[in-house]
């Protein structure tokens, strides 16, 4: 079962798809954030906001607000505001940062979600199923496997088990992404070689044409040329002799 799940996420990454890591329980928070960032994916590790998938447009507004506050904190606009206003904005920014930091740069809905403890993340699983998004999840004895598309049987409470499963999924995604990169490089190289070959072909043909100058004599033969007729003015005059 784990091999199937691993192969599935690897194929997704190979196609350039997005996998969202989800794990808000205390034992999973650090592993989820670290492994998702390691393979270039996104994550939710603090709190699943209701409607995060099904109400994506509204969530994107909150993400936009977070980016705006981040810019204000770094470009000096805070210094132009009263201290109380800055404290209020900073409190808002930290709240948004805690809940949305892992998806701040996720521009669209994920193509699959990887979940630690499908029972605790039941809202996330139901939202994904409602939208037809495949669910890959670590399923313990207290979870319902029928709600999961790719089941990984295991202990979702033990820190070492969570770290193991999450790291393996992360490695599979990284391998898929590398395969995609290698394929793109190979395609680009093949296109460059084809363009170079197309450019060199006319040059070679021109060189061949220049080197093969064929004379008319070679084509028609030596006996087909007319001898030049001498000009009447140039013919010697024959004196008439009287007998």
Residue 44 has pLDDT above 90, yes or no: yes
* DSSP per position, 19-41: EEEE--SHHHHHHHHHHHHHTT-
How much of the chain, in percent, has pLDDT values that exceed 70?
Answer: 75
- DSSP label at residue 91: H
**Is it the case that residue 231 has pLDDT exceeding 90?**
no
With CA atoms as reference, report the closest residue to 165 among 143, 128, 194, 140. Answer: 140
Let me know how many helices (H) and strands (E) the chain has, helices first: 7, 5
Domains of the chain plus CATH, in order, are 2-53+109-185 (3.40.50.10490)
32 within 8 A of 45, measured Cβ to Cβ: yes
Of 14-18, 59-63, 114-118, 200-204, the least confident: 200-204
Q: Which residue has the higher pLDDT, 154 or 192?
A: 154
Judged against a pLDDT cut of 90, whether residue 128 lies above it is answered with yes
Where do we find the tokens 């490089």?
Answer: 185
pLDDT of residue 243: 42
pLDDT at position 229 is 53
């Amino acid at each position: 079962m784990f091999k199937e799940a691993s192969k599935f996420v690897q194929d997704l990454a190979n196609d350039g798809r997005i996998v969202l890591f989800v794990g808000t329980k205390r034992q999973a928070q650090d592993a989820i954030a670290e492994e998702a960032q390691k393979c270039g994916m996104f994550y939710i590790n603090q709190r699943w906001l209701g409607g995060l998938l099904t109400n994506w447009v509204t969530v994107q507004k909150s993400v936009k607000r977070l980016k705006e506050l981040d810019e204000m904190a770094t470009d000096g606009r805070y210094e132009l505001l009263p201290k109380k206003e800055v404290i209020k904005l900073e409190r808002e920014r930290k709240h948004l940062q805690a809940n949305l930091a892992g998806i701040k740069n996720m521009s669209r809905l994920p193509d699959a979600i990887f979940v630690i403890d499908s029972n605790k993340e039941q809202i996330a699983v139901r939202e994904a199923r409602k939208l037809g998004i495949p669910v890959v999840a670590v399923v313990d004895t207290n979870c319902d496997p029928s709600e999961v598309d790719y089941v990984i049987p295991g202990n979702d409470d033990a820190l070492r088990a969570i770290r193991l499963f999450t790291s393996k999924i992360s490695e599979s995604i990284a391998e898929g992404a590398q395969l995609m990169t290698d394929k793109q490089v190979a395609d680009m190289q093949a296109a460059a070689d084809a363009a170079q070959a197309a450019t060199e072909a006319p040059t070679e043909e021109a060189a061949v044409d220049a080197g093969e100058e064929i004379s008319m004599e070679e084509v028609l033969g030596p006996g087909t040329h007319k001898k030049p007729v001498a000009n009447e003015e140039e013919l010697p005059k024959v004196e008439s002799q009287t007998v």
